[in-house]
Amino acid sequence: MFKLEGLYATYGEGMVLRHVDMEVPMGRVTCLVGRNGAGKSTTLKAVMGLVKTPQGKIFLEGQELQKLPVYERAKRGIGYVPQGRDIFPQLTVEENILLGLEAGKGKGTIPDFVFETFPILREFLHRKGGDLSGGQQQQLAIARAIVAGPRILVLDEPTEGIQPSVIQEIGRVITGLKSRMAVLIVEQYLEFVLNIADYCYVMENGRIIMDGEPEHLDQKRLQATMSL
């Protein structure tokens, strides 16, 4: 189980997250939704240690992470795909994936399950990351995040700027990965994310205002929250 308990986060002045509680179990896809500026990316940055968290706790399988530096959290088993993907355009596909291996548990070769998950990456192994299409770059970013076998995969708007057929493919991949790890996904594309999520948190102004299984969420309130 991955868990946030009463988490606050700040970029300097004023709290962006306020008392966020969240549970992200293994074998489940948990989603976090909310409109622009709600604090979704900040929540994921707080998980990774990229933003100050003056109060609250972050647990991974019972161990507290909130005081650990970013690289140590990656090593403990958090795979992170930032918004906008952030791959290295000048490095090859292979080099990009190997970076994920080094950030995680160690060095070695890329395990087969990565290419079984994303066959296209094997084909383009020696191509530069920057020469891939947007959807392929998203696949590369996910490959880099899972190559070290994380306990939790954290994805920030994986469908942003990607065509529908690739979005469906990414949905299938995420559903397939959950048997190996917990998945926490931030999305604004509701129809997509409610389809693949087992549990959903709704954020507004840095607070969780609603949570539940997708089919039990108050649809009216959800739509209102997303569209304001």
Tokens coding 75:
């090593």
Site residues (vs ligand ATP, CB under 6 A): 11, 16, 34, 36-42, 83, 188
In the bound complex, what is the minimum distance in angstroms from residue 148's beta carbon to ligand ATP? 25
In the bound complex, what is the minimum distance in angstroms from residue 207's beta carbon to ligand ATP? 12
Residue nearer to ligand ATP on the CB measure, 39 or 77: 39
User: Which of 10, 41, 53, 66 lies at the binding interface for Mg ion (CB under 5 A)?
Assistant: 41
Round to whole Å and give the CA distance between 228 and 99. Answer: 40
Round to whole Å and give the CA distance between 119 and 42. Answer: 32
Q: Should residue 137 be labelled a site residue for Mg ion when binding is judged by CB under 5 A?
A: no
DSSP code, position 101: H
In the bound complex, what is the minimum distance in angstroms from residue 81's beta carbon to ligand ATP? 14
Round to whole Å and give the CA distance between 223 and 20. Answer: 21
Residue nearer to ligand ATP on the CB measure, 38 or 152: 38
Shortest-Cβ-distance residue relative to Mg ion: 41
Count of C-beta atoms within a 10 Å radius of residue 208: 20
Round to whole Å and give the CA distance between 62 and 59. Answer: 5
Site residues for Mg ion per CB under 5 A: 41, 83
